[in-house]
Structure 1
Amino acid sequence: MEELIGTQKPTHRVLDPGEAIAVLERAVPGLVALRRQEAAVFDWRAVEEEAGRALPSDFKSLAEWYPAFGLDDFLAVTLPWPGDEVAGAEAQGTRSERWSCDHPADLRPAELISTPLMTWGNSTEGDQFLWSVLGDDPEHWPITICSRNGAWWHYEGGMVQFLAELCDGALEPWALPPVKPEITGWAVEGGGWQQRA
């Protein structure tokens, strides 16, 4: 059985997706170079149908303005590509393969055995970044981190705010290395990945 080491809370919970993205852009200045000129249009109904539930608005807003990206050659933030929602989902496998945590329930901390977990990011070292699906309101799902060394922890803010606070040092990176606010790769049209030159 794995260990749940605790929960961190932001000083101020940012609920507005636009404000959360602005906080992330301040924390990771190089991100702005990837910002689209106009918000991309997604068939969110199709994405959410494939996911099996509604998704948090900060995640959707981030995907509308940015491609998937990597931070510090460590953390990959997985976002859908506009216009390729269904094909991208099919290429990544079934709903359970794409969105669900691949950590077996019997190896999770006792508090999380019956909690549905949805993946939104991962690290090059095997850490997983998830939402704990607690209730029907995705705006209040906590972020759950499953570290490669068996430590689990929660963050009681949104995914975008978590990224900002992880990069700017506002939260303690329990069981993770410090993450520099540096963009090291991003998704490009057609399913490729561009590394920073």
Structure 2
Amino acid sequence: MEELIGTQRPARRILDPDEAIAVLERVVPGLVTLRRQNPAVFDWRAVEEEAGSALPSDFTSLAEWYPAFGLDDFLGVMLPWPGEEAVRVEAADTPSERWHSDYPADLRPAELTSTTLIPWGDSAEGDQFFWSVLGDDPEHWPVTVCSRNGPWWHYEGGMVQFLAELCAGALEPWALPPVKPEITGWAVEGGGWRQTA
């Protein structure tokens, strides 16, 4: 059984997705070079049917303005590409397969064995980043971190706020290395990935 080591709380949870993205853009200034001129159009209904739930608005807003990206050659933020929603749904063997973690319950801390986890990021070293689906309001789902070293922990803010605070050094990284506020790669149309020089 893995260990749940604790919960970190932001001084103020940012519920407005535009405010959360603006904070992330200030902390990671290179991110704005990837910002689309106009928000991408997604069939969020198809994505949410696949996920089995509505998704947090900071995630959907970030996906509309940005492609998937990597931070500090470490943390990859998984964002869908516009127009590929139906392809992703058809590719899954079962509904929501792509979204729900296959982490076995016996490898989770006891507090999480009955909790649905939806992944939104991973690291180059095998760490995983989830939402813990607790309640019907995705705006209040906590971020859950599973370190490759075994410890699990929660952050009671949104995913975008988590990224900003992690890169700013405002969070104790608990079993993660410090993450520099540098964009080191991003998704490009056609399924490719571009690395910074």
The one-letter amino acid paired with 2:63 is A
Structure 1 Cα separation of the partners of residues 92 and 185 of structure 2: 19
For structure 2, which runs of at least 5 residues remain unmatched after alignment? none
Q: Which range is displaced more, 41-50 or 91-100?
A: 91-100
Call closer, same or farther: CA 1:92–1:187 in 2, change over 3 Å.
farther
1:89 CA drift (Å): 4.3
Is 1:83 matched with 2:77?
no
1:50 match: 50
Aligned to 1:140: 140
C-alpha displacement of 1:91: 4.6
Give the SS at the match of 1:99. Answer: coil
Q: What's the offset of the Cα at 1:95? A: 4.4
Task: Provide the C-alpha distance between the structure 1 equivalents of 2:94 and 2:65, rounded to a whole number of angstroms.
Answer: 26
Count of paired positions: 197
Provide the rounded CA distance (Å) in 2 between the counterparts of 1:92 and 1:195: 28
Partner of residue 118, structure 1: 118
Q: CA deviation at 1:93?
A: 6.0
Task: After superposing the two structures, state which structure 1 stretch, 78-87 or 109-118, moved more.
Answer: 78-87
Contact 1:80/1:88 (8 A) holds in 2:
no
Give the drift of 1:96.
Answer: 4.7
Give the aligned partner of residue 189 of structure 1: 189
Q: Shift of the alpha carbon at 1:114?
A: 0.3
- State the Cα distance separating 1:86 from its structure 2 match: 1.6
Asked if the contact 1:81–1:88 (Cα under 8 Å) also holds between the matched residues in 2, the reply is: no
2:38·2:65 contact (CA, 8 Å) conserved in 1?
A: yes
Q: Is the 8 A contact 2:52 2:96 kept in 1?
A: no
Q: TM-score, normalised by structure 2?
A: 0.97
Q: Distance in 1 between matches of 2:72 and 2:46?
A: 31
Q: What is the SS of the residue equivalent to 1:119? A: strand
Distance 1:134 1:38 in 2: 33
Aligned to 1:34: 34
Deviation by residue 1:49-108 (Cα, 9 ceiling, x = unmatched): 011110000000000000000001111000011111121444576545421223211110
**Distance (whole Å) between structure 1 residues aligned to residue 185 and residue 93 of structure 2:** 23
The whole-number CA distance in structure 1 between the counterparts of 2:120 and 2:190 is: 20
CA contact (8 A) 1:74 1:125 kept: yes
3-state secondary structure, aligned to 1:187: strand
Instruction: Please give the root-mean-square deviation of Cα atoms over the aligned residues, in Å.
Output: 1.2
Q: Give the letter for the 1:34 counterpart.
A: L
Runs of 5+ consecutive residues of structure 1 not aligned to the other structure: none
- Cα distance 1:93–1:160, how it changes in 2: closer, same or farther (>3 A)? farther
Point out 4+ residue stretches in structure 1 off by more than 6 angstroms.
none
SS at match of 2:98: helix
Amino acid across the alignment from 1:170: A
Which amino acid in the other structure matches residue 27 of structure 2? A
Q: For 1:127 and 1:92, how far apart are their aligned partners in 2?
A: 23
